[in-house]
């Protein structure tokens, strides 16, 4: 059995897809088990090639998978805690980044500024396992009943990644005026904020999907969307996985570490860039995100839509 650890969120799983597929190709006759949070099960099914999900929340505990682990693969982090967690299942071999603190020296060195997709492909390559970093596509779920909508996803668990709500409201209003059928997604905790954005934009209550869409439904919504606009969060990675036209707002983490492939014309990234903000009180939208104005985002939307029209013209 091959056991891969990636006990994180949606974007983290999406960026590990090429590595997981590399493992599947390298061990075609072995069971491939992914240790990840149980709530990610619908997305794991859309990755393909993973035989079983071993529910794992964080790094506190890893249940015995029930079969001897031939190879354990740390796709979670640099260690030492993730290395030590995998050691508890007594793997025959551990593929991981070198970490002297965990007593593991057989692996490449960690590079902080490396893109997350390239990082895990490099780890496997160092152990003789090829993985294609462009192999990001997810399986398509059943078609959404809201196919063709434009998805705005204002929220993020990280305050520094949030674009101001009033900007999202202005964007929603402008896109609606241009003929987009706008819906707003988010978690149940973000529903009140999303509802206020919708009200300011003049959208009907049914445009507020925050808290009412499970992960499978969200994947279907993004897969069939006209456009996605979001911060650097899981929804952006779903758009990449389905080649759905997208505009992703970055700050303070640069797109060179988490962004979509730069050669894809249907994805645009805007980066507010790092900065020193000594007067920020840590509440609400991060000042670097506030540096992205509405016109820049609308300009990126226009670029993406022109790229889509050009692609259609070539296909025709």
Strand order in the sheet with 246-250: 182-184, 150-153, 227-231, 246-250, 267-271
For residue 137, count CB atoms less than 10 angstroms from its CB and return exposed for 0-12, middle for 13-18, buried for 19 or more. middle
pLDDT digits (tens, 9 = 90+) for 153-208: 999 988 888 999 999 999 999 999 999 999 999 999 999 999 999 999 999 999 99
Q: Does one domain contain both 247 and 158?
A: yes
Task: Tell whether the model's pLDDT for residue 115 goes beyond 70.
Answer: yes
Q: What is the count of structural domains for the chain?
A: 2
Q: Does one domain contain both 190 and 297?
A: yes
pLDDT digits (tens, 9 = 90+) for 75-108: 999 999 999 999 999 999 999 999 999 999 999 9
| Residue at 264 is within a domain | yes
pLDDT digits (tens, 9 = 90+) for 154-168: 999 888 889 999 999
What pLDDT does residue 77 have? 97
The enclosing domain of 162 has a CATH number of 3.40.50.2000
Q: Does one domain contain both 116 and 211?
A: no
Q: Does one domain contain both 154 and 289?
A: yes
Q: Does one domain contain both 76 and 217?
A: no
What are the distances in angstroms from CA 7 to CA 10, 110, 113, 195, 299?
10, 19, 21, 31, 37
Q: Does one domain contain both 164 and 113?
A: no
Domain hosting 275: range is: 150-315
Task: Tell whether the model's pLDDT for residue 299 goes beyond 70.
Answer: yes
Q: Does one domain contain both 85 and 165?
A: no
Q: Does one domain contain both 102 and 156?
A: no
pLDDT-derived band at 257 (thresholds 50, 70, 90) equals very high
Share of the chain above pLDDT 90, in %: 86
| Residue at 139 is within a domain | no
Q: Which of 12-21, 280-289, 304-313 has the lowest mean pLDDT?
A: 280-289
Q: Does one domain contain both 286 and 163?
A: yes
| Residue at 43 is within a domain | yes
| Residue at 285 is within a domain | yes
Round the average pLDDT of the chain to a whole number and report it: 93
Q: Does one domain contain both 178 and 107?
A: no
What are the distances in angstroms from CA 195 to CA 118, 145, 190?
37, 21, 9
| Residue at 137 is within a domain | no
Q: Does one domain contain both 111 and 25?
A: yes
What pLDDT does residue 276 have? 41
What pLDDT does residue 111 have? 96
The whole-number average pLDDT for the span 102-124 is 96
pLDDT digits (tens, 9 = 90+) for 200-243: 999 999 999 999 999 999 999 999 999 999 999 999 999 999 99
Q: What's the predicted TM-score (pTM) here?
A: 0.94
Best CA proximity match to 242, nearest among 262, 258, 264: 264
Q: What are the backbone angles phi and psi of residue 252, rounded to the nearest 5°?
A: -90, -10
């Amino acid at each position: 059995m091959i056991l891969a650890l990636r006990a994180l969120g949606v974007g983290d799983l999406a960026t590990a897809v090429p590595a997981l597929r590399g493992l599947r190709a390298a061990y075609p006759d072995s069971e491939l088990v992914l240790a990840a949070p149980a709530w990610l099960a619908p997305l794991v099914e859309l990755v393909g090639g993973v035989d079983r999900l071993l529910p794992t929340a964080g790094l506190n505990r890893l249940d015995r998978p029930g079969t001897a682990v031939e190879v354990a693969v740390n796709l979670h982090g640099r260690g030492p805690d993730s290395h030590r967690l995998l050691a508890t299942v007594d793997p025959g071999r551990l593929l991981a980044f070198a970490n002297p603190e965990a007593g593991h020296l057989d692996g490449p060195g960690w590079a902080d500024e490396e893109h997350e997709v390239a990082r895990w492909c490099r780890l496997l390559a160092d152990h003789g396992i090829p993985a294609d970093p462009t192999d990001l596509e997810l399986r398509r779920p059943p078609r959404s009943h809201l196919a063709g909508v434009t998805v705005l996803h204002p929220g993020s668990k990280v305050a520094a990644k949030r674009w101001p709500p009033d900007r999202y409201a202005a964007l929603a209003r402008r896109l609606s005026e241009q003929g987009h059928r706008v819906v707003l997604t988010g978690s149940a905790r973000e529903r009140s904020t999303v509802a206020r954005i919708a009200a300011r934009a003049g959208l009907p209550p049914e445009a507020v999907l925050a808290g009412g869409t499970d992960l499978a439904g969200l994947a279907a919504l993004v897969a069939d969307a006209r456009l996605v606009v979001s911060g650097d969060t899981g929804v952006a990675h779903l758009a990449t996985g389905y080649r759905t036209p997208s505009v992703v707002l970055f700050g303070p983490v640069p797109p060179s570490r988490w962004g979509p492939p730069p050669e894809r014309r249907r994805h645009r990234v805007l980066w507010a860039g790092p900065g020193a903000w000594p007067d920020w009180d840590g509440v609400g939208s991060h000042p670097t995100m506030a540096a992205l104005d509405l016109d820049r985002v609308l300009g990126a939307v226009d670029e993406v839509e022109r790229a889509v029209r050009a692609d259609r013209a070539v296909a025709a």
